[in-house]
């Protein structure tokens, strides 16, 4: 059986060939994957939260899935190193997002979830890799 570290090191394939929404499905059902820590390491959230997000995003609101996939690309990149600033901003976003009950309305709602929306935007504007200009 592969260790979580082995799975994370193979994460480049998952990061570029799939996304959080697709990968979370592998943790459901009878033949589900048994390494939830690898999912959390790659995507920053528990796979059960991703299943909830999948259910809520059926109307096309994909901002959270986008940011989780960006995080995974940075985590799985074996040629470049992610910046500490990116990691901190992502962690802040996850904390605020989970504090909102994983409510994806932050992208369209007024002041109710403005802190989540600001954290999301700060990730998009942040330098992702140490070697980036």
The encoded tokens of residue 85 equal 């600033």
Residue 127 has pLDDT above 90, yes or no: yes
Q: Does residue 130 form part of some domain?
A: no
Q: What is the rounded average pLDDT of the residues 98-121?
A: 82
Residue 63 has pLDDT above 50, yes or no: yes
pLDDT of residue 85: 97
Q: Does residue 49 form part of some domain?
A: yes
Q: φ and ψ at 40, to 5 degrees? A: -65, -40
Q: Does residue 48 form part of some domain?
A: yes
Count of the separate structural domains present in the chain: 1
Q: Does residue 58 form part of some domain?
A: yes
Residue 128 has pLDDT above 90, yes or no: yes
Residue 68 has pLDDT above 50, yes or no: yes
Q: What is the rounded average pLDDT of the residues 5-28?
A: 57
Q: What is the rounded average pLDDT of the residues 109-117?
A: 79
Q: Does residue 133 form part of some domain?
A: no
As to burial, measured by CB atoms within 10 angstroms (0-12 exposed, 13-18 middle, 19+ buried), residue 78 is exposed
pLDDT of residue 12: 43
Distance CA 78, CA 65 (A): 22
The range of the structural domain enclosing residue 39 comes to 4-125
Q: φ and ψ at 95, to 5 degrees? A: -60, -50
Most distant pair of Cα atoms in the chain: their distance: 47
Q: Point out the least confidently predicted range of 38-47, 58-67, 70-79.
A: 58-67
Q: Does residue 131 form part of some domain?
A: no
Distance CA 40, CA 30 (A): 20
Mean pLDDT of the chain: 76
pLDDT of residue 7: 53
Distance CA 94, CA 102 (A): 9
Q: Does residue 54 form part of some domain?
A: yes
Cα distances (Å, whole numbers) of residue 68 to 2, 41, 123: 23, 11, 11
Q: What is the rounded average pLDDT of the residues 36-40?
A: 77
Residue 14 has pLDDT above 60, yes or no: no
Q: Does residue 23 form part of some domain?
A: yes
């Amino acid at each position: 059986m592969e260790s979580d570290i082995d799975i994370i090191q193979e994460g480049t394939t998952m990061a570029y060939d799939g996304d959080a929404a697709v990968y979370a499905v592998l943790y459901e059902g009878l033949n589900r994957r048994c390494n939830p820590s690898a999912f959390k390491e790659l995507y920053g959230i528990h796979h059960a939260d991703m299943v909830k997000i999948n259910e809520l995003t059926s109307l096309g609101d994909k901002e959270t899935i986008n940011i989780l996939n960006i995080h995974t690309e940075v985590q799985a990149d074996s040629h470049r190193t992610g910046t500490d600033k990116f990691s901190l901003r992502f962690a802040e976003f996850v904390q605020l997002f989970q504090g909102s009950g994983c409510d994806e309305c932050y992208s369209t709602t007024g002041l109710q979830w403005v802190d989540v929306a600001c954290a999301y935007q700060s990730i998009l504007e942040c330098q992702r890799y140490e070697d980036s200009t």
